[in-house]
């Protein structure tokens, strides 16, 4: 079973909701519920051997940004691929819709010739 939106392969359902989980290094993982739980369990295990300041973040599922609903309508000037790249690089952790709004504002502020 593989959720195509999910970065991992331990998915239980193919079209379940996926959310953004900070990877602790400035980027984000896009994970379904099952893969999130696996990652959190793994991090909990790893954190036992790490100093407080070096531990992986283990946020609750409900605290994570949803990747999906509202994301289906793609803005022609700001393709979803671009946003996904920004998320993967850790440049942003906001949802696609919010990101588009932000991009539009940035564009408006730039001097036009
Ligand atoms: Zn998954």
Please report, in tens digits, the pLDDT of each residue of the chain (113 residues total).
888 889 999 999 887 889 999 987 888 899 999 999 999 999 999 999 999 989 999 999 999 988 865 445 577 788 888 988 999 999 988 888 788 888 988 888 876 55
Q: Is residue 68 part of a domain?
A: yes
Report pLDDT for 113. 59
Q: Is residue 4 part of a domain?
A: no
Report pLDDT for 112. 59
Structural domain of 40: 18-109
Distance 88 CA to ligand 1 centre (A): 16
Count of structural domains within the chain: 1
Distance 97 CA to ligand 1 centre (A): 22
CB crowding 85-112: b at 16 or more within 10 Å, else e: ebbeeeebbebbeebbeebeeeeeeeee
Q: Is residue 2 part of a domain?
A: no
Q: Is residue 3 part of a domain?
A: no
The residue assigned the tokens 């079209």 is: 15
Report pLDDT for 33. 95
Distance 92 CA to ligand 1 centre (A): 21
Query: CA-CA distance, 87 to 67, in Å (whole number)?
Result: 11
Distance 83 CA to ligand 1 centre (A): 20
Report pLDDT for 69. 55
Distance 31 CA to ligand 1 centre (A): 5
């Amino acid at each position: 079973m593989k959720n195509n939106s999910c970065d991992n392969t331990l998915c239980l359902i193919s079209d379940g909701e996926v959310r953004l989980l900070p990877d602790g290094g400035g980027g984000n993982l896009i994970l379904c519920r099952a893969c999130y739980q696996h990652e959190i369990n793994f991090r909990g295990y790893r954190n036992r051997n790490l100093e407080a300041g070096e531990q992986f973040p283990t946020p609750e599922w409900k605290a994570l940004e949803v990747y999906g609903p509202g994301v289906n309508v793609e803005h022609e000037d700001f393709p979803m691929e671009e946003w996904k790249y920004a998320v993967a690089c850790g440049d942003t952790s906001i949802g696609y819709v919010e990101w588009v709004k932000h991009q539009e504002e940035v564009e408006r502020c730039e001097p036009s010739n």
